[in-house]
Amino acid sequence: MSTAMAWKETDVDSSDKRGKYTISVIGCGKTGLSTACFLAEVGFKTVVADFNPYTIGLIKKGKAPFVEQALAKLIKKHIKTECLKVSDRVKEAVAQGDVIIFSISTPLDKKKPDYSQIEKACKEMGMGLRSGSLVIVESAVGPGVTETFFKEWLEKASGLKAGTDFGLAYSPVSALPRYTLQDSTTRPRIVGALNEQSLRAACLVLSMVTKAGTIKVRNIKTAEAINLFESVYHDVNNALANELAHFCEEAGIDFLECQEAVGRRLPNSMPISDATTAYFMSEPCLLFEEAENTDAQLRLVKEARRVNEDMLNRTFHLTRNALRSCGKTVRNARVSVLGVSARANVKEADHYFVRNLVTKLSKSGTRVRVYDPFFSMKELAELDFQAERTLGKSVEGSDCLLITVGHDRFRRLNLRRIRFLMRKPAAIVDVCNVINPSHARREGFIYCGIGRR
């Protein structure tokens, strides 16, 4: 039996006392690993579990499954000291834990949430769940999902009753991709729970994860909604920026110049156009699923999603127009796509924008080669991309350079050397605003960018 639900501040107010307890984290994504590492840092014994054997294998060797330097250092440190242990058996990991933190993401299937992986994990968790334990859910889910599906799956598999035999709380992580560890430990954590005892215990644990404290809300459903609302806010702002950028292209105005000027007068007031990362966001779709059960139409939110998803077509048209300006057509053109990662300076392969864009170009008869400095040629081939070993080989003989991820390395491209390698006249299509248009044109390129002139 666990005593987590009965913890008082004096039970965990020192590293020595915390070392008597184990916290199990289910899911080895960025948020789950960040939480696990910081709990190990403050003295808890920590176990992380995941169904992915490749991810588990890397962590056992003290390596991070993605690029985030600060987090990678903590993984290496705590694996070495054995404060952090790894398992591919969820049931066994949960059986060791006084507190279980659930951090498995919700994938989408045709824009509908697919909870099958979460259901599988919950059933495994339930078989190992001990009386007196506290379960904290971090995953993004639709409002009401934790108190219905999660609760039901855990209760059926464990034979225990939530709120009586074990605690249940929800606390999402709000963090930027490159700064998951930093943001998850410096931003306040929203916490909602099934009952007052679960809320008190969850806040006690999470107050050791974040230096900014916790924000208590009235129930789990409210906490779930807040998490989705934050993402929807960013999605709507991205859509506004993308619409304004499109207007600027048509009107002969440089959107970036407008953005910088407005920012000098009213800091942080102008939304930033983000063609690639705004293309796919799962959180608004989770909200749409729940809204179907109500009279809420969410018209603005749905339109914002449509605008952002249409950035794929806009990028395709920019590429086609750039090639036309070179006297070439999309069919039989050679295009070098720079960037596969989901976001700048991060090795994360699930980039729907690039994958779908490459597919669209290929179906139009374009010969596409892909390069990303964070991925080896072998890794890109495994992702079904046609790739070359080096940047030079990737752009050699190309008609168009299509920059889809704003890696710092792409900001320092030697355009003169690249133009020498490409078939002239050559084009640059820059959807990340990493290339100065004037510089590109001075080097002899036809330049097109989102909102740029």
The CATH number for 167's domain is 3.40.50.720
Q: Where a domain ends, among 308, 324, 358?
A: 308
- How many whole angstroms separate alpha carbon 321 and alpha carbon 100? 53
Residues 285, 309: Cα–Cα separation, whole Å:
12
Asked whether residue 416 is domain-assigned, the answer is yes
At 364 the three-state DSSP class reads coil
Phi, psi at residue 271, to the nearest 5°?
A: -65, 155
Handedness of CA 117, 118, 119, 125 (dihedral sign): positive
Cβ-Cβ contacts under 8 Å for 343 (sequence gap 6 or more): 177, 178, 277, 405
Better-scored residue on pLDDT, 95 or 173: 95
Angle at 413 between CA 71 and CA 439, to 5 degrees: 130
Q: Supply the pTM of this predicted model.
A: 0.86
Quote the CA–CA distance of 51 and 118 in Å, as a whole number. 11
Give 274's pLDDT tier (boundaries 50, 70, 90).
low
Two structure tokens written together for 141: 């889910």
- Asked if pLDDT for residue 125 goes beyond 70, the answer is yes
Which position has the token pair 């156009």?
Answer: 273
Provide the domain count of the chain.
3
Question: In terms of pLDDT, which residue wins out, 166 or 54?
Answer: 166
Q: Are residues 34 and 81 in the same domain?
A: yes
329, amino acid identity: T
Model pLDDT, residue 178 = 52
CA angle 326, 407, 361 (to 5 degrees): 40
How much of the chain exceeds pLDDT 90, in percent? Answer: 65
Question: How confident is the model over 308-319, as a mean pLDDT?
Answer: 94
Examine the domain organization and report whether 267 and 338 are in the same domain: no
187 and 336 together in one domain: no
Q: Are residues 247 and 359 in the same domain?
A: no
Give how far the C-alpha of residue 120 lies from the chain's centroid of Cα atoms, to the nearest Å.
Answer: 22
Q: What is the pLDDT of residue 109?
A: 77
Of the three residues 308, 343, 375, the one that is the final residue of a domain is 308
What pLDDT is stored for residue 298 in this prediction? 92
pLDDT for 276 equals: 66
Between helix 30-41 and helix 69-81 the angle, nearest 10°, is 50
For residue 62, being part of any structural domain is answered with yes
pLDDT, averaged across the chain:
90
Q: Is the pLDDT confidence value at 261 over 80?
A: yes
- Taking the C-alpha atoms of residue 26 and residue 35, their distance in angstroms, rounded to an integer, is 11
| Amino acid in the structure at residue 410 | F
- Residues 187, 60 within the same domain: yes
User: Which of 308, 341, 360 is the last residue in one of the domains?
Assistant: 308
With respect to residue 222, please indicate whether it lies within any of the assigned structural domains: no
Residues 366 and 281 in one domain: no
Mean pLDDT value of segment 387-410: 94
Q: Are residues 192 and 249 in the same domain?
A: no
Q: Which domain holds residue 27?
A: 4-217
Residues 157 and 32 in one domain: yes
